Amino acid sequence: MDTFDSNLNKQFGILICGHGSRNKLAITEFQELTSFIQRKYPSILVEFGFLEFAKPSLTDALDKLRNSSITKVIAIPAMLFAAGHVKNDIPSLLMNYAKKTNMEIIYGRELGINNLMISAACERVKEVFKKDNSLIPEESLLVVVGRGSSDPDANSNVSKITRMVVEGVGLGWGETVFSGVTFPLVEPGLRNVIRLGYKNIIIFPYFLFSGVLVTRIKRQLDLVALDNPHIEFHEAKYLSSHKYVVQTFVERIEEIFNDESNNFMNCSLCKYRSNLFGFENEVGLVQESHHDHVEGIGLSCDLCDSECNGACETNSQSLTEGQDQTVLLAGKTDVEHHHKHADPYHQTDHHHHSVYPNSKHPLGPVTLRLLNDDQILRNSVEKD
């Protein structure tokens, strides 16, 4: 770090860009992560901000840097993979801010897949075996749970993490499921993998922080465990501020210090730039933010003391009678995310959501059908 610090001055700042969460523990964990990064750069001002559901917003954080006479900012997305938030929402917001203020903002890479992130994942899984010495890796099945995205490139990266951990730790088998948006979801995915006959199954949420999605994973796991008392399910901790995660953030920052960030860009499987099978209609779509209408809205949940207990989803489900439980668990918050806090028709004609081609997959979130129906209707109105 000393090599870079000597070349920097007080006009230089770092911004860690988060998604945001209603969950208080998730926000606390994000703040802790930022403090670890700040320790790596003691002579540089490090700030953080969120796209939605938490404060400070990214704009608030940028204003704070500018008010501290910062004229040049390195912005790093605190995201595991490059999907919609990394490709659209964050860069659009940063570019608009830069145009308005003449601040120079250099956008870095997402965390992605490297030796450090793979090592962090392997260590989280190995912690399970340290807690229970009776477990044998070769006789255990690993299920990695990803966030899930409408971007197949991001989803495929979760599967790569699964395989790297399986080989790194020497596990018997590995499968990948998702908490939402794509398929297979946690519950149907688990019900499929138990047919393989493993008596020990490790569930590893490949998430940075706590939150409603991590709680959703636990609830769906409980449903499957209740029906399969002969199987032992073990939960690995999500990544959080693991030392290798912090080092990856530092690596992303150093890439910009060394002017190497462009050397690592890979668009060969980006659905906006390559003619991916099944996603051909998205090539060349304008990439812009879909979060401007909720930026800066602080919506911390008062139903939980710290760790999310899923009360918000449970309350929502109790209001909807007669629906299949799997449907509710599959994607209630996905709909709330798009409909409760935003009017889908208030956008201008430049604001387009592509229709996810697998929204009606039987192992995916049924509620995505509502989102796609909205988009189809909106597109027809705009054409008329």
Hey, which residues are catalytic here? 19
Q: H or E stretch including 106? A: strand 104-107
Q: H or E stretch including 383? A: helix 368-383
Where do runs of H (alpha helix) occur along 179-310?
186-193, 212-227, 243-257
The DSSP string of 145-200 is EE---S-HHHHHHHHHHHHHHHHHHT-SEEEEEESSSSSSBHHHHHHHHGGG--SE
Q: Which residues of 68-102 are buried (b: 16+ CB within 10 A; e: fewer)?
A: eebeebbbbbbbbbbbbbbbbbbbbbbeebbeeee
C-alpha torsion angle, residues 141, 145, 148, 152 (rounded to 10): -30
178 beta partners = 146, 185
Determine whether 17 is exposed, middle or buried from the number of CB atoms within 10 Å of its CB (0-12, 13-18, 19+).
buried
The DSSP string of 301-330 is -SS-SSS--SHHHHHHHHTSTTS-HHHHHH
The DSSP output letter for 351 is -
Whether the bond into 188 is cis, omega within 30 of 0: no
The amino acid that residue 176 corresponds to is T
- Spatial contact of 309 and 303, defined as CB atoms under 8 Å apart: yes
The amino acid that residue 298 corresponds to is G
213 backbone φψ class: left, alpha, beta (φ>0; ψ -120 to 50): alpha
Tally Cβ neighbours within 10 Å of residue 241.
18
Query: What values do phi and psi take at 300, rounded to 5?
Result: -60, 140
Please tell me whether residue 48 adopts helix, strand or coil conformation. Answer: strand
